[in-house]
Amino acid sequence: MSPLHSKNIFSSDLFKKWAVLFFAPLAVAIGLMIGTGSKLPFIIFIVPAAILFLVNFYNNPRIGIYIVLVVAFMQAGLTRYYPVAPYGLAVDVFLLLPILFIMLRKGKDLDASDLNQAVFYVILLWFSYCIVEIANPLARSVVAWFYAMRGLALYLVLNFICGMLIFNKPKDMDLMITIWTVFSIIGTIWGIKQLFIGVSPTEQRWLDAGAANTHVLFGKLRVFSYYSDAAQFGASQAMAGIVFGIYAIAEWANKRRRNYLIFASLMAFYGMIISGSRGPLVIPALAGFMYLLLSKRLKILILGCSIGFMVFSVLKFTTIGQTNYQINRMRTALNPSEDPSFLVRLNREKILEAYMHNKPIGAGIGMAGSWGKRFAPGTFLAELGTDGHYTRVWAECGFIGLYVHIFMIVFIAVKGFLVVWNLKESKTRVKLIAMYGGYCGVAAASYTNGLITQIPTAPLTYFGIAFIFLGRRWEQEAEKEEAKLLEKQEVE
């Protein structure tokens, strides 16, 4: 190695001399331009910063994943407070660029063997069906297809690939949980402020624009925090609460980490309660049951199911806490036959069934729900509404698309269960149970809302799926490391 490269070039005398000759006149020039009101100094600062960012991003594609996770939480709040940019497109960009960069950096040396498994091909099957839907003769807008297809299929594919190729270490899963806990705690604090102090003028304008119809019931606010709406807030916090709780069990030996996760779990569950959302109740219930089942301990399963039945009985057969609005509203979820909104949903499905009888491939992606109102206002599906995710898939993709989609959902659930079940006991296995339980809960709760395709729940769920199917490799790598350590100890 040459003397020039044997030490830090930035500490060399040559660099310091050239730095003075270059940066001193530059500083004077920038000062003069600022004094004259020129915008050039800002460009001078921004361009090098952007170049430096891209260089670091290229060398470490994980940066894109970090940005996706942060933007996933902040997008709705930014859109509400600063509607000056399509923040959602940032998710697309920072999921695509890491894949591009990792391919450019490694080329033929890229190890994509983790993608060579059945679950990825099943996901590609659903993605391919959604691509073909662009040719649906009943669809009215290609632009609508583009916007709606992203959440319906594209993000799932991109998140899964990023998880398998880039964000694919146990420490990455731990980092995602850390980011998740921070934003979840902030979300609940924000929600508490809305409930007890009041909403901000910007949030009030959002309510006055029509959101109050679903967010202010009987004079009581359904807290939405900085999320897109109360349903997404409640679902995200319900998933967070149970995932953090199970994660805390995995981190039981680390007292500080364990206590932090328990605190985050309790905060998340409180956020779920004040959201006034009832559908998310199924998330902790199903995820908790999956943990009990996958624990492979009969006594824990019986004890957990007994506690769950007691909680259900209190809500179903008693009036304890009835004076509390949030508890009262959750209780109505256990009496669907008396719930007006549930009856409206059933009636809507009957109307949709009559409309869909001769549309096996649906009316086109982007023609129902909020996208339909935006790109095809006045049409039958845009005005009917869908509520649930699966109803939307049925309306847009027909019964063929619905069967393909449900096959994918069930395949991931069954295959993921087998993967986690066959893993050996370890902290990582318990963490993967948390990911698996969260996926199952969100998939079930999506019957009443489009939770599994909405931000921030979607990327968290999709990365969780990738982590589950990395479990076998993680276990093999851990066994190899353990064998090397034992061999080293024997030699010593």
DSSP helix, strand, coil percent of the chain (3-state; round to 5): 80, 0, 20
* 83 upstream amide cis, omega within 30 of 0: no
pLDDT at 193 over 70: yes
pLDDT at 391 over 50: yes
Query: What pLDDT does 290 receive?
Result: 92
Binned at pLDDT 50, 70 and 90, residue 78 comes out as confident
Lowest mean pLDDT among 221-225, 299-303, 417-421, 475-479: 299-303
**What are 345-364's pLDDT values in tens digits?**
777 778 888 888 888 998 88
Kind plus residue range of the DSSP H or E element containing 217? strand 216-217
Binned at pLDDT 50, 70 and 90, residue 338 comes out as low
pLDDT at 425 over 60: yes
Q: Which residue type, as a one-letter code, is found at position 190?
A: W
CA distance 454 to 73: 11
CA distance 378 to 356: 18
Q: How far apart are the first and last CA of the chain?
A: 34
Q: What is the mean pLDDT of residues 256-279?
A: 90
Cα–chain center distance at 153: 14
Q: Taking the model in full, what pTM does it have?
A: 0.84
Q: What DSSP designation does 339 have?
A: -
Burial class (CB in 10 A: 0-12, 13-18, 19+), 373: middle
